[in-house]
Amino acid sequence: MGRLIVGIESTAHTLSFGVVDSDGTLFPSHSSLFRPEEGGIHPREAADHHSDSASNLLDMLSSSTDFNWDSVEAIAFSQGPGLGPCLRIGASVARSLSTSLGVPLIGVNHCVAHIEIGRNQTGCIDPVLLYVSGGNTQVIARSDGRYRVLGETLDIGIGNMLDKFARLHGIPFPGGPEIERLADEYLQKAEPDMDPVQLPYGVQGMDIAFSGILTSAIQKVSDGAPLEQVCWSLQEHTFATCIEVAERAMAHTGKTELLLGGGVACNGRLREMSSIMCSERDAVSYWPEKAYCIDNGTMIAELGRRMYQQGITTSLGDSGINPLLRTDNTDVTWP
Ligand code: AMP
Ligand code: MG
C-alpha cells in the first residue's frame, strides 16, 4: 500500500469513511446508515446520527489492516450536493483531520464521485452514466471538460420515490431492496399481467417525472391490486423511463458504454434492462459492486485521488459546503 487518500461521505443518510491508495486500489468503506424510526429523512436528525457515529467509524478505520495515518496524503470530502446539516458534519471532520495531520483538503462533487468509482471498478472509459440514487436521477456524459447533465428528473429522485412508496406500505427505509424482493416474488408466483397495473409513463424529451407514477401506484394498491404486482409494475415502468433516456443519450452522443451508479443501480432488474438495451445497440453496460453503488467514502477518496494527481486541493477558506452543487459545475481535468 502506497500513499493514501481518505474520503468522507455525508451528503444524506450515510456517514462513511473510505480509502484509496495512490495507484487507485480501493479499500472497503466503514459506513453507518441513518434509518428514521418513522417518516422520511429529517436533515437535522440525520446530521445528529452522523456526528454520533463519526468517532466510532474513525476508530474502525484506524484499526483496519494496513491503514496507517502516517501514510495519509490528503483528506477528500463531499462538498455537495446534499442536505446542509449532513454535509456540514462531514466537512467539519475533514477540516479537523486535514489540520491535525497537516495534509491538504480536497472538496469533491458527490455526483462526479459516483462516475469515477464506476470507471475505476469496471474499466469503462467514456460512458454515459445513468445515476439513480435516493435524491438524484440524472443521465450524464463527459463533453468539453465537464460531466454534462443530458437529462434528469423534473421532480423527485427515483430512490426517494421507491422509498416513499415502500414507507406508505409499512416497509422501512431503504425501501428499494424490499420492492425488488416483492417484485421477484410476484414473478415467481404468477404469470405476469400488466393490464390491471398500468401506470403513467413520465418521459418528457430527455427528462423524467416520478410523482405521477408514484400517486398512481399508491392508488392501485388502495384499489385492491396486490402489493407485489404493483411493485413489479412500478419497477418496470420507472426503470424503462430511465433506460429510454439513457439510450437516447447514447444515440445522441455516439458513446458505446453505459455505466450505472447510485443506490438504485443495486437492482437486478435495472441491470438486466441495461444489459438488454446495450446488447441491442452493440454497446456494453457496466455497474460497480453494490457497496460502491450506494453512497460510500471510498468513491469520495477515489475522486479526491484523481483531483489531487492534477494538483487540485481546497483551501480551508474555500471548504464551505455547497448543498446545491450541480454535476456540471465541476471542471474535469483528469483523464
Ligand atoms: P444512494 O442515495 O445512492 O445511497 O442510494 C440509496 C437509494 O438506493 C435508496 O433510495 C434505496 O431504496 C435505493 N436502493 C438500494 N438498493 C436498491 C435495490 N436493490 N433496488 C432499488 N433501489 C435500491
Ligand atoms: Mg449518491
**Band of pLDDT at residue 38, cut at 50, 70 and 90:** confident
Atom index in ligand 1 nearest the CA of residue 175 equals: 12
Cβ–Cβ < 8 Å for 133, 288: no
Asked if the bond preceding 172 is cis, omega within 30° of 0, the reply is no
- The reported pLDDT for the residue numbered 36 is 86
**Band of pLDDT at residue 105, cut at 50, 70 and 90:** very high
C-alpha 11/C-alpha 313 separation (Å) is: 20
Q: Is residue 120 part of a domain?
A: no
- Give the three cell numbers for residue 1: 500500500
Q: Is residue 121 part of a domain?
A: no
Helix or strand run (H / E) with residue 127: none
Q: Is residue 259 part of a domain?
A: yes
Same structural domain, 60 and 12: yes
Average pLDDT of 15-41? 93
Average pLDDT of 97-115? 97
Phi, psi of 18 (to 5 degrees): -140, 170
Same structural domain, 270 and 302: no
Same structural domain, 111 and 29: yes
Same structural domain, 9 and 68: yes
pLDDT beyond 60 at 1: no
Q: Is residue 265 part of a domain?
A: yes
Average pLDDT of 79-104? 98
CA 187 to the chain's CA centroid: 27
Same structural domain, 158 and 269: yes
Span 177-230, pLDDT tens digits: 999 999 999 999 989 999 999 999 999 999 999 999 999 999 999 999 999 999
Same structural domain, 91 and 143: no
Ligand 1 binding pocket includes 267 (Cβ within 6 Å): yes
Provide the pairing of β-strand 203-204 with 146-152.
unpaired
Task: State how many domains the chain has.
Answer: 2
Q: Is residue 11 part of a domain?
A: yes
Q: Point out the ligand nearest to the CA of residue 158.
A: 1
Residue 79, domain CATH: 3.30.420.40
pLDDT beyond 80 at 2: no
Q: Is residue 238 part of a domain?
A: yes
Q: Up-side HSE of residue 300: CA atoms within 13 Å toward CB?
A: 36
Q: Is residue 84 part of a domain?
A: yes
Same structural domain, 189 and 241: yes
Helix or strand run (H / E) with residue 6: strand 4-9
- Give the three cell numbers for residue 163: 422509498
Same structural domain, 228 and 306: no
Same structural domain, 309 and 229: no
Q: Is residue 335 part of a domain?
A: no
Nearest Cα to Cα of residue 273 among 244, 294, 293: 244
Span 303-332, pLDDT tens digits: 999 999 999 999 999 999 999 999 999 999
C-alpha 143/C-alpha 166 separation (Å) is: 37
Same structural domain, 90 and 171: no
Cβ–Cβ < 8 Å for 259, 128: yes
Same structural domain, 105 and 143: no
Q: What is the DSSP code (8-state) at residue 204?
A: E
Ligand 1 binding pocket includes 113 (Cβ within 6 Å): no
Cβ–Cβ < 8 Å for 32, 15: yes
| Residue of 86, 112, 264, 290 best suited for mutating to test ligand 1, as the one with most atoms within 8 Å of CB | 264
The separation between the first and the last C-alpha atoms of the chain, rounded to the nearest angstrom, is 23
Domain of residue 26, residue span: 4-115+295-329
Same structural domain, 149 and 254: yes
pTM over 0.75: yes
Ligand 1 binding pocket includes 262 (Cβ within 6 Å): yes
- The reported pLDDT for the residue numbered 109 is 98
pLDDT beyond 70 at 97: yes
Q: Where are the beta strands (DSSP E) in 12-167?
A: 14-21, 26-33, 72-80, 105-109, 128-132, 137-143, 146-152
Ligand 1 binding pocket includes 6 (Cβ within 6 Å): no
